[in-house]
Amino acid sequence: MFQLVILSNQQHIDLANLSLNSEQMGLPKSIPVAVQQCCLVGGKQAGSRLITLTVGDAVVRIVPTRGMAILDVIKNGSRFGWDSPVKEVVHPSFINQEAAGGLGWLDGFNEMVVRCGYQWSGHPGQDGDEFLTLHGRIQNTPADEVILEVEQTPPYRVTLRGRVDEKRFKFTNFELQTMLSLTPDEPYLTIEDTLTNKGSYAREYQAIYHNNFAQPILENGAQLHVPVSELSPFNDYAIAGLSDWNQMPAPTEGFDEMVFNIRPLSDEQGLSRALLHNAKGTCGIEVTYQTQTLPVLTIWKNTDTEEQGYVVGIEPGTSFAYNRSYQRELGLVPTIDAGESKQFYVRFGLFTQEKQVTESREHIEALQKMQSLKVFTKPLVKV
């Protein structure tokens, strides 16, 4: 096993700019694996780090400065991610999450995978005596103990780890251990995160994996397939979209975001999956997740103009996107005991072949046949 500590406060290591090829990591020259890290300069991205992993025909860009977010992935020439109006990889020091009534989080929002949580997630607003900003703090917290691991024998798995702390005196003492992995010969990218309560008392927590996708998958005629037990509109505006919630239009001027709440069906392994594919079904993204710790799914349908951010979010979570104050009655604000850990598993199928898309769709259709879909025509809560 090749191991490289990229960043460690404890070990006083900071490799800053680096570049390694397969031979330098003890792999055969023919194995397409490489790693680069650069320190970004200019504008609001000054000080941000960007790690680029090349594994087979996939190029993955990770931002350790922003909670180990995944900026995007290019697989077989197809990009998985989206084009936000925010073009920079914004350093957290330039983010004021309390701005604009708690919407300041949006000033840096442009990644394919964004972690929301963990003390809270969801829309900003008051929860008792506490004002909660949009989607929590973890995304704007730099990581420590960033470590690369590469197996030197088949399947040559590449793993990037990082630790992100969410701590506040008298309140939260959370530690998140993140792990991203993939191999050269598989079309999958896996996230396995572990949240640990390092404090002495039980605490509420929330998590949403805000996964975002656009072209070339998202287009007029693109379709979303999800095995659904219950479907409901997030708010009154989304009621009008219930009839075609899983059908994607072209970029549409004046289309405000429509959000849908889903209680998904899972298979015998406790896994559920969602598939978004292009109109021809020749490429797609599959999001598979463990429903034991991520029991609900949010679909964020933001098919506004390309300049505004044409994107669809597939978001497994402990909770929907409502403010935490609304979700206790829904049973969606779990508790983590002192010393306890919670594991979150999310796998991305980066499909660039029609056969892969077809097999995923057929699996979802078979799961849906086991139970009929129940549709609620009114929001679960009145916001």
Summarize pLDDT for 197-246 with one digit per residue, the tens. 999 999 999 999 999 999 999 999 999 999 999 999 999 999 999 999 99
The region that residue 112 occupies, defined by phi over 0 for left and psi between -120 and 50 for alpha, beta otherwise, is alpha
**What type of residue is 375?**
V
Per-residue pLDDT tens digits for 324-365: 999 999 999 999 999 999 999 999 999 999 999 999 999 999
Asked if 88 and 44 count as a contact pair (C-beta separation under 8 A), the reply is yes
H-helix segments, the chain:
99-102, 236-239, 324-327, 354-368
How many residues make up the chain in this entry? 383
Rounded Cα distance between 67 and 188, Å, is: 21
Neighbouring residues of 288: CB distance < 8 A, sequence distance ≥ 6:
271, 272, 273, 346, 347, 348, 349
Q: 221 to each of 216, 217, 300, 368, how far by Cα in Å?
A: 12, 10, 17, 21
Q: Given this structure, which CATH class describes domain 2-375?
A: mainly beta
Which pLDDT belongs to residue 291?
98
For the chain, the average pLDDT equals: 97
Which pLDDT belongs to residue 221?
98
Which pLDDT belongs to residue 257?
95
Per-residue pLDDT tens digits for 144-190: 999 999 999 999 999 999 999 999 999 999 999 999 999 999 999 99
Helix (H, G, I), strand (E, B) or coil at 244: helix
Helix (H, G, I), strand (E, B) or coil at 186: coil
Rounded Cα distance between 274 and 111, Å, is: 19
Residues in a beta bridge with 67: none
Asked if 80 and 70 count as a contact pair (C-beta separation under 8 A), the reply is no
Residues in a beta bridge with 303: 310
Helix (H, G, I), strand (E, B) or coil at 129: coil
Which pLDDT belongs to residue 383?
82
Sign of CA dihedral 93, 98, 100, 102: positive
In this prediction, residues 74-99 reach a mean pLDDT of: 97
Per-residue pLDDT tens digits for 270-295: 999 999 999 999 999 999 999 999 99
Residue 353: count other Cβ atoms within 10 Å of its Cβ. Answer: 13
Rounded Cα distance between 97 and 264, Å, is: 31
In this prediction, residues 33-37 reach a mean pLDDT of: 98
Got the DSSP string for 319-373? S-SS-HHHHTTTT---EE-TT-EEEEEEEEEEE-SHHHHHHHHHHHHHHHTTS--
| pLDDT of 265 above 90 | yes
Which pLDDT belongs to residue 352?
98
- List the domain boundaries for the chain: 2-375
